[in-house]
Structure 1
């Protein structure tokens, strides 16, 4: 991207989080330029290039759209914009797309769009996280974290997809997802694409899938999405969590202005004000581990989110694990800055599936308190294997030290090589089907690693 320009230079959003190939999609664009163009790039691996132009529009007249409106009570920012254009995705391959808006004069913004798969049988499913993208989106002054003043108390209790994303328009995708897509496509394994909001609505894409991959920051889940992923695991689908803080917040998806599932509801610490509090306690939108309806995420992920912020070396524990084949690591080898900025750990006393093996065990300090971060691997009776990295920087490390590395937090080429090879081992193994049938079983070691802990 050359230049974002001022906040009003050019911004837009799609009327759908995802489409199936051939489906029409609408774009809503506001720009101070007299005209703009749209280019659709599919992210992947094209002989070294990491995206391919699939479609481009002609010149489109620009216009400044109306100011957004704020819903009282939940402080939800929505636009009431006129649709600028519609386009068909006929002939577009399934995959992750960036729609680039190019305003006359040179300013640019992205609009993310997933062209989703309807069938995932025999494939590795990449599951994107638009609910999390939207939770952090500050466009219009409000996110699920803060209001215009920066105060938590003024935050939205529900956020809408009927508005642009802030910053580049696709920041969360670019930082936490793009590099994993590129790597998976480079490996040539059969892939399918979906989103958490689509899995919430319909789990069909997970039926018969070899694996489902949750990418680098996938914090906001509905109970339905979690149930569908867990059911897939228990039917033999491997699961990988390439981040931290996964499935931490329980959300609901509600109607938008014109389409269903366009609003992400999460009351967090104000959960007693949630309309479901007295009638449907398992749907109350707070942390999964909190009452009412407490169900810690560790029963699915194997690890429990603990804290933010931290910056620490990632320390290998089980160097001879099959995940580390070809990396040359030894027990105790460390990789600087790979643990951060949020982290998970295996927490004694929290529910975890067994047998579970800690593969990395990293000491850290978070807010003045000493703790640890863990990577963990477990299997279930269906044969499915589940791996969690325990750090949010895993996908970022795939780009560390490269021109596209962005904020690599000081991670170097050695770290990139280790994370890349480990991820390749993981994806190749999981693409073969239930991991317990063709890879060594976990060697339970939680009690050994956490001697004396409670």
Structure 2
């Protein structure tokens, strides 16, 4: 999130670009990695997406209260961010006034272009109005509602993002109302790609019930003053006041606008993908069973254990793809809920950045913070810069690089609007790091800042790619239920064959070179 105008000197960007241009353009991985269609280790995603999709899974009748955040007519949340197949998860639902309701549970994917498959329908079930908690210490809102139902996850449910649709059963003369719940089903199998949803960031921006998020404490929007709990519903997508204007996001965090286009495209193309939440990456074991790890969308808030886990992945040969912006920005410690459930409360503990100026300035301007994370640039290949938000075109710097194979792009060619609403820049000095794209992002025509997309070689024939924008997935697909975001008088244009081919090149190479 932006903290005011400041920019990296142009000489820093130019130095990085010129250094990159002098590096060898030879592939950084083995030759067999350049196979056009690398074999996958599993056909599970292909088999799943051959099943019939749902014609009706989106919210049809949705209503938010006068403050524009919550839907008290029906709303709910889950007892865990993710659940392993074979375990169970509780769903807490509140209705005002009390009503019976149904829950339809969908797995999100491609499914012949429909975007979701109905897994199971529950109900009718009873729901009463459950209490809105009073603000606790550091404005914490922790619901601790009674469960409305428990879902036993069969062992054969495939890992994925599962979105539930809650629908009231109206009394005569009434309308029905709807909202979502969302959770991840995870597994422990070897897989080609690990897709990490950015649910810490969803929760950091969640304003439920009435403008209470990490950003809304009276002491300031950037300090360590506010705690937020996963034990509450997701209000309408928190960026709707300038990035997304779609009330159909109620209850689903930021998945539908910023992450679903990537999941839809991966499954459309049959990639062997498995899913996890931020809280599943506190240790590296899950990721070490995969060939590639993807950070997607707006992945701002990381517990420092996530950082060290993903470092371990890189060092052990896993390919890292940061198809995201403003990522690894804030150290976000987890703690348990009041009733003892692990990893249910987070806060902004301090900046990543080590001794870099952007971290020192954040600490000075908004602290003191209890934590300081390492330099995120040494992991991602680029850093969070100030101002971190804005909009721009994704402009090719090094068209001869292997990531551009088959795209036909030329130096200086731009993919319009793909940079935003937050991004990365200021690449660190890493042996072999190459700036493959770069340019200027603007805050509505003012406060220019340089952004850089980078790639550098890992120690075992792997690579780390940083697309440097939250909007990368917007260039991959536009699934049902998706609305293009925008910001700062700039917007992405939707699916782009160049973005698709670049992503294919990255993933096919990742799949081909690492055995798990």
Do the structures match in fold with TM over 0.5?
A: yes
* Equivalent position to 1:237, from 312, 318, 326: 318
- CA drift of 1:388 comes to 0.5
Cα 1:401/1:363, change in 2 over 3 Å? farther
Structure with bigger RCO (C-alpha 8 Å, 6+ apart): 2
Secondary structure in 2 aligned to 1:165? coil
Cα 1:99/1:325, change in 2 over 3 Å? same
Matched, 1:302 2:384: no
2:75 aligns with 11
- CA drift of 1:404 comes to 2.9
Cα 1:291/1:390, change in 2 over 3 Å? farther
Residues 2-401 of structure 1: matches in 2 within 5 Å?
A: 2-6=60-64, 7-32=71-96, 34-72=99-137, 74-90=138-154, 91-104=156-169, 105-119=175-189, 121-140=190-209, 141-147=211-217, 152=221, 157-167=226-236, 168-200=250-282, 202-258=283-339, 259-268=341-350, 293-306=372-385, 307-347=387-427, 351-366=428-443, 368-399=446-477
Contact 1:300/1:353 (<8 A) preserved:
no
Contact 1:236/1:433 (<8 A) preserved:
no
Secondary structure in 2 aligned to 1:393? helix
2:360 aligns with none
Cα separation, 1, equivalents of 2:232 and 2:507: 35
Cα separation, 2, equivalents of 1:56 and 1:94: 19
Cα separation, 1, equivalents of 2:370 and 2:513: 36
Cα 1:43/1:252, change in 2 over 3 Å? same
Alignment length (residue pairs): 411
Cα 1:233/1:287, change in 2 over 3 Å? farther
Secondary structure in 2 aligned to 1:27? strand
Cα separation, 2, equivalents of 1:65 and 1:144: 23
Contact 2:485/2:492 (<8 A) preserved:
no
Higher strand share: 1
Cα 1:293/1:80, change in 2 over 3 Å? closer
1:298-349 residue CA offsets vs partner (Å, 9 max, x unmatched):
01000011134312111111112222222221111112211111111134xx
- CA drift of 1:403 comes to 7.3
Secondary structure in 2 aligned to 1:78? coil
Cα separation, 2, equivalents of 1:63 and 1:403: 29
1:254-286 residue CA offsets vs partner (Å, 9 max, x unmatched):
0113311111122448xxxxxxxxxxxxxx9x9
Cα 1:287/1:53, change in 2 over 3 Å? farther
1:275 aligns with none
Matched, 1:407 2:485: yes
1:39-61 residue CA offsets vs partner (Å, 9 max, x unmatched):
11111121222111111102112
Structure 1 range deviating more: 211-220 or 42-51: 42-51
Cα separation, 2, equivalents of 1:206 and 1:96: 17
- CA drift of 1:81 comes to 1.4
Contact 2:219/2:225 (<8 A) preserved:
no
Contact 2:298/2:326 (<8 A) preserved:
yes
Cα 1:336/1:241, change in 2 over 3 Å? same
- CA drift of 1:252 comes to 0.7
Cα separation, 1, equivalents of 2:225 and 2:73: 25
Cα 1:58/1:339, change in 2 over 3 Å? same
Secondary structure in 1 aligned to 2:499? helix
Cα separation, 2, equivalents of 1:18 and 1:46: 22
Q: How does the TM-score come out when normalised to structure 2?
A: 0.74
- CA drift of 1:97 comes to 0.8
Cα 1:151/1:370, change in 2 over 3 Å? closer
